[in-house]
């Protein structure tokens, strides 16, 4: 535990004395700079303020840390009292305010804080609690427009409307368009679908080729049953083509696989032979250097 003895609370007279003395050093103590020179000046100002406070107080002597904590508490209390006052002014319901406003000590503290406590103001918008000033519209001239007497429109009679519709009605023959047959015989929903191109109907051609048997048409060739747009292939060639077309990447044939394996083996043998030759050269060079060292 700390051995520091707790000092008595600050009295109202001490707070008033501190607020009166602080105005002389407020420009240095509340400076926003944080460099070495500003910190040195702040420490000197607090030392001078502590000396002036202890020379005029009639209670007990206070140290610099106690006065610094007092100043932080006074700033917090002043801002809280101003916030409560603003909240009471903006509240609805009417009646007398239930919270007291800032005291004379709080007003002195707020005067030292300045814009950091009252808020910034600008012509467009701001966070200050000032009154809203409305622009003066006395110099604006209002131009009035007289209402003209517009005669009411004549009501359209039913006979006139029927005659206009009969004249505007046109027949399909008048514009060169024949009558369309929208019955069950002329229109079918299946006509809206476009047919699949013959080049893409590989499975369909394969299925049609498998259904046809040599017994039913012995003279018919496999090419006659397929579409004229497709290449002429036998059933086995068609099955092989479909099998290869479904693969995502090409596949080497068996003979090409064997040639590839032979090429890889030849390359590996050549690499091994090259490594053996390099090793023999290094051994020979090592023996020559060894003999040179022995002769020396």
Give CA–CA dist 203/194, Å, rounded.
18
Q: Which of 173-187, 192-206, 226-240, 265-279 has the highest mean pLDDT?
A: 265-279
pLDDT digits (tens, 9 = 90+) for 215-261: 444 444 444 444 445 557 788 888 887 777 665 555 666 677 788 88
pLDDT digits (tens, 9 = 90+) for 114-149: 877 777 776 666 555 555 566 666 666 666 655 555
Q: How many CB atoms lie within 10 A of CB 78?
A: 23
Strand, helix or coil for residue 44: helix
Return the DSSP state at 57.
Answer: -
> Where is pLDDT greater, at 38 or 169?
38
Tell me, what's the pLDDT at 276? 92
Q: Which of 38-47, 109-118, 258-267 has the highest mean pLDDT?
A: 38-47
DSSP H stretches of helix in 119-253: 158-168, 202-211, 222-225, 235-245
pLDDT band at 48 (very low <50, low <70, confident <90, very high): very high
DSSP H stretches of helix in 130-227: 158-168, 202-211, 222-225
Give CA–CA dist 241/202, Å, rounded.
9
> Where is pLDDT greater, at 211 or 116?
116
Q: What is the pTM of this model?
A: 0.41
User: In the numeric block, which tokens belong to residue 23?
Assistant: 């105005």
> Where is pLDDT greater, at 28 or 230?
28
Q: What share of the chain is helix, strand, coil (3-state, %, to 5)?
A: 55, 0, 45
Q: Which of 61, 60, 59, 78 is nearest to 19 (CA)?
A: 78
Contacts of 28 (CB under 8 A, 6+ apart): 41, 42, 45
């Amino acid at each position: 535990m700390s051995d520091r003895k707790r000092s008595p609370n600050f009295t109202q007279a001490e707070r008033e004395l501190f607020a009166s003395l602080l105005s002389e050093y407020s420009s240095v103590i509340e400076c926003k700079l944080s460099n070495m020179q500003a910190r040195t000046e702040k420490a000197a100002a607090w030392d001078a303020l502590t000396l002036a406070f202890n020379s005029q107080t009639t209670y007990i002597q206070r140290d610099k840390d106690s006065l610094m904590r007092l100043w932080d508490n006074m700033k917090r209390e002043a801002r809280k009292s101003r916030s409560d006052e603003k909240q009471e002014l903006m509240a609805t319901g009417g009646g007398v305010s239930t919270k007291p406003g800032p005291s004379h000590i709080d007003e002195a503290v707020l005067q030292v804080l300045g814009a950091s406590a009252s808020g910034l103001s600008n012509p467009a918008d701001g966070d200050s609690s000032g009154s809203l000033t409305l622009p003066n519209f006395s110099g604006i001239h209002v131009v009035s427009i007289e209402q003209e007497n517009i005669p009411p429109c004549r009501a359209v009679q039913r006979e006139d409307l029927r005659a206009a519709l009969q004249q505007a009605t046109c027949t399909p023959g008048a514009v060169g368009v024949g009558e369309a047959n929208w019955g069950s015989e002329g229109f079918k929903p299946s006509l809206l679908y476009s047919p699949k191109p013959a080049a893409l109907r590989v499975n369909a051609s394969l299925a049609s080729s498998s259904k046809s048997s040599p017994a039913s048409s012995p003279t018919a060739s496999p090419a006659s049953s397929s579409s004229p747009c497709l290449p002429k292939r036998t059933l086995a060639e068609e099955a092989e083509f479909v099998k290869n077309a479904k693969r995502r990447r090409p596949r080497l044939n068996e003979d090409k696989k064997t040639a590839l394996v032979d090429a890889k083996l030849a390359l590996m043998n050549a690499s091994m032979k090259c490594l053996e030759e390099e090793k023999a050269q290094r051994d020979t060079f090592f023996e020559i250097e060894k003999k040179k060292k022995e002769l020396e």
